[in-house]
C-alpha cells in the first residue's frame, strides 16, 4: 500500500491562495486506507481551510468529492463533469494520482495536499511501516521475504556488514534489528542458508533508514 501524509496546512493554504473556487478530491484507494486522503480527511482539511479563511475578505469556495481511485480512469466520469466549474483541483491522492489528474485536466492547476512517503504495511490503526523501496529488482525470494534494501540501513544486497551486534541489532541504531540477522534466521528455519552465499552485484543506495508514519490523530497513542 502507498502511504501518504498530509502536507502542513500553511503549505496548502499557500498553494490555493490565488484561486477562488477549489475542488478538493479524495481517493478511496491507498490514501483512504492509510487515513490520509479519504472522504473523512477531505472534509477535515476543508473545514480547517474554511476556518482559516473565516473573518477575512476571502470569498474562496472549497468543495469536496471523492472517487474510488485517482490512479484509474474508469472512476473519473463524475469528476469529469465537475472539474470545469473550478479554478483549481486539490488532490488528496498519492503522487501517482496527482499526476494522473494533472494529465487528464491539463487546463486546471492540480495541487497535491499530501506527501507520498513510502510503500508499506499496517502495523496498527494509523501506524504504517515501510517495507518496499520499489527498487525494481526484487530479491525477496532469496532473502526469506525480508527486504534488505528497505530493512538494512546500508541497503546491502550481500550482508551482513561487520557492524551487526551480538544480539542481532544494527550498529546504526541499537533498537533496530539487523535485517541480515533476521534474513539468516528466516532462511535457517527454511533450510535455505545457501542463499546467503550467492553474491549479488553491489549497488549504490542512499537514505536507507526504514521510515514509518503515524497519522497525527494517532500519535499520542503510539508515542507514549
Q: Is the pLDDT of residue 144 over 90?
A: yes
pLDDT category at 42 given cuts 50, 70, 90 is very high
pLDDT digits (tens, 9 = 90+) for 52-108: 886 555 688 999 999 999 999 999 999 999 999 999 999 999 999 999 999 999 999
| pLDDT in the model for residue 154 | 86
Q: Which residues contact 41 (CB under 8 A, 6 or more apart)?
A: 6, 26, 31, 32, 35, 92
Task: Provide the percentage of residues in the chain whose pLDDT is more than 70.
Answer: 93
Instruction: Give CA–CA dist 193/87, Å, rounded.
Output: 59
pLDDT at 50: 92
pLDDT of residue 206: 59
CATH of 2-118, one of 3.40.50.300, 3.30.70.1090, 3.20.20.100, 3.40.50.2300: 3.40.50.2300
Q: Number of H helices and number of E strands within the chain?
A: 8, 8
* pLDDT band, residue 38 (cuts 50/70/90): very high
Q: What is the pLDDT, as a whole number, of residue 53? A: 82
Please answer whether residues 1 and 119 qualify as being in contact, where contact means their C-beta atoms are separated by less than 8 angstroms: yes
Grid coordinates of 83 = 472539474
Mean residue pLDDT of the chain comes to 91
pLDDT tens figures, 181-223: 999 999 999 999 999 888 887 666 555 567 788 888 888 888 7
Determine the pLDDT at residue 56: 58
- Asked if pLDDT for residue 16 goes beyond 60, the answer is yes
Instruction: Report domain extents, the chain.
Output: 2-118, 131-222
Give the pLDDT of residue 156.
Answer: 86
The reported pLDDT for the residue numbered 208 is 58
Q: What pLDDT does residue 124 have?
A: 93
Bridge partners, 192 (sequence order): none
Q: From the CB of residue 115, how many other CB atoms can be counted at a distance below 10 Å? A: 16
Amino acid at each position: 500500500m502507498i502511504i501518504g501524509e498530509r502536507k502542513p496546512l500553511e503549505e496548502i493554504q499557500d498553494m490555493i491562495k490565488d484561486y477562488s473556487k477549489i475542488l478538493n478530491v479524495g481517493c478511496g484507494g491507498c490514501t483512504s486506507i492509510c487515513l490520509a486522503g479519504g472522504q473523512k480527511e477531505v472534509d477535515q482539511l476543508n473545514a480547517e481551510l474554511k476556518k482559516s479563511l473565516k473573518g477575512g475578505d476571502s470569498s474562496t469556495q472549497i468543495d469536496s468529492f471523492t472517487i474510488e481511485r485517482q490512479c484509474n480512469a474508469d472512476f473519473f466520469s463524475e469528476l469529469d463533469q465537475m472539474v470545469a466549474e473550478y479554478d483549481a483541483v486539490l488532490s488528496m491522492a498519492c503522487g501517482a494520482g496527482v499526476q494522473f489528474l494533472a494529465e487528464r485536466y491539463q487546463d486546471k492547476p492540480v495541487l497535491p495536499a499530501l506527501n507520498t512517503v513510502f510503500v508499506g504495511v499496517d502495523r496498527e490503526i494509523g501506524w504504517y511501516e515501510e517495507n518496499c523501496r520499489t527498487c525494481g529488482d526484487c530479491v525477496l525470494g532469496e532473502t526469506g521475504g525480508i527486504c534488505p534494501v528497505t530493512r538494512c540501513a546500508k541497503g546491502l544486497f550481500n550482508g551482513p556488514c561487520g557492524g551487526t551486534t551480538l544480539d542481532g541489532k544494527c550498529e546504526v541504531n541499537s533498537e533496530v534489528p539487523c535485517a541480515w540477522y533476521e534474513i539468516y534466521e528466516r532462511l535457517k528455519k527454511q533450510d535455505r542458508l545457501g542463499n546467503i552465499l550467492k553474491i549479488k552485484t553491489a549497488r549504490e543506495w542512499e537514505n536507507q533508514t526504514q521510515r514509518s508514519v503515524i497519522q497525527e490523530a494517532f500519535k499520542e497513542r503510539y508515542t507514549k
